[in-house]
Amino acid sequence: MLPVQRGAYLLEQGPDAGRRIAYIDHGEPDAPAVVMLHGNPTWSFLWRKVIAALPRRRCVAPDLLGLGLSSILPRLHDHTIDRHADALVELLDALRLPRYVLVAQDWGGPMATAIGVRRPDRVAGIVLANTSVLLPSHPRGTAFHRFSRIPVISDLVFRGLGFPQSLLWAVQGDRRSMLQRKVAAAYRWPLRSRGDRIAPLALARMVPDGPDHPSVAPLRRGQAWLQAFEGPMALVWGTRDPILARALPRHERAFPRAPVTTTTAGHFLQEEVPRALAAAVEDVLARG
């Protein structure tokens, strides 16, 4: 199911020193590097088809702390944009990647811009896919994010019932793409026990619900960095995504130089249109 080279790195700095970040590092070490960033509640498994479509590139796909094969963060408030970004930057520095293209979906978008804030000289280009890197003037989140803040009930549903990883198929254009038995099991497996299910709820609550939310400041810094970024960009969108399809027009307006590829995929477009993502990566590399 995942025929790629994998590794694990023990963090040495900050509050997560000693914790493990698992990652894919597939391809020739000297090939152009592509860093793939997933979101909630997935892991690097999500990128396997895109990696297969980029045989001439070095593809690095980390598992965010608390997801995939990375170490669990024990408390909901351990999950912040800055804490995740610091861990990702430490990993990328340890892998000695001089330059890389960032490919980001869902929460991967804000993680990518936070990396850009920290290592602007390393980012050679960016591909955004069904994500949001633009902070609304009045942030509220979607119904999904508002539900995650309901006391007791949200904890029961997310941690007790394994939501939303058991229903990923529901946000797809082609629901069969994530209903195959082995594929569905691969997404549920890292979160198979209640004690491992902190991250999906924490990441849902990381979406701002007002101007004083802790995520607002790092999101603003990331947005400002990206709007000043002069390197090549591309947008790849799944228009049947019930969560973020409507975010595309405002990203097109904000980044008019970025070519746009629209598809009939859903939220996890890596499962449905991996070649469209790979083509955008190659285009960004060529323009860079």
The pLDDT tens digits of the residues spanning 147-158 come to 999 999 999 999
Average pLDDT taken over every residue of the chain:
96
Q: Dump pLDDT digits (tens) for 230-241.
A: 999 999 999 999
Rounded-to-integer distance, Cα 235 and Cα 251, Å: 8
What pLDDT shows up at residue 2?
64
Set 106, 174, 213, 251: catalytic member: 106
Rounded-to-integer distance, Cα 256 and Cα 273, Å: 23
Low-confidence ranges of the chain (pLDDT < 70): 1-3
Residue 100 lies in a domain: yes
Residue 1 lies in a domain: no
What pLDDT shows up at residue 84?
98
Set 26, 84, 251, 267: catalytic member: 267
Residue 117 lies in a domain: yes
Could you give the maximum distance between any two Cα atoms of the chain, in Å? 50
Residue 267 is a catalytic residue: yes
Set 25, 86, 241, 251: catalytic member: 241
The range of the structural domain enclosing residue 102 comes to 6-137+214-287
Domain CATH number, residue 19 = 3.40.50.1820
Residue 157 lies in a domain: no
What pLDDT shows up at residue 141?
84
Rounded-to-integer distance, Cα 15 and Cα 13, Å: 7
Residue 86 lies in a domain: yes
The answer to pTM > 0.95 is yes
Residue 78 is a catalytic residue: no
What pLDDT shows up at residue 136?
87
Contact in structure between 255 and 232 (CB atoms under 8 Å): no
Residue 281 lies in a domain: yes
Residue 241 is a catalytic residue: yes
**Total number of domains constituting the chain:** 1
What pLDDT shows up at residue 138?
86
What pLDDT shows up at residue 211?
92
Residue 221 lies in a domain: yes
C-alpha neighbours within 13 Å on the C-beta side of residue 106? 25
Residue 162 lies in a domain: no
- CA 90 from chain center: how many Å? 17
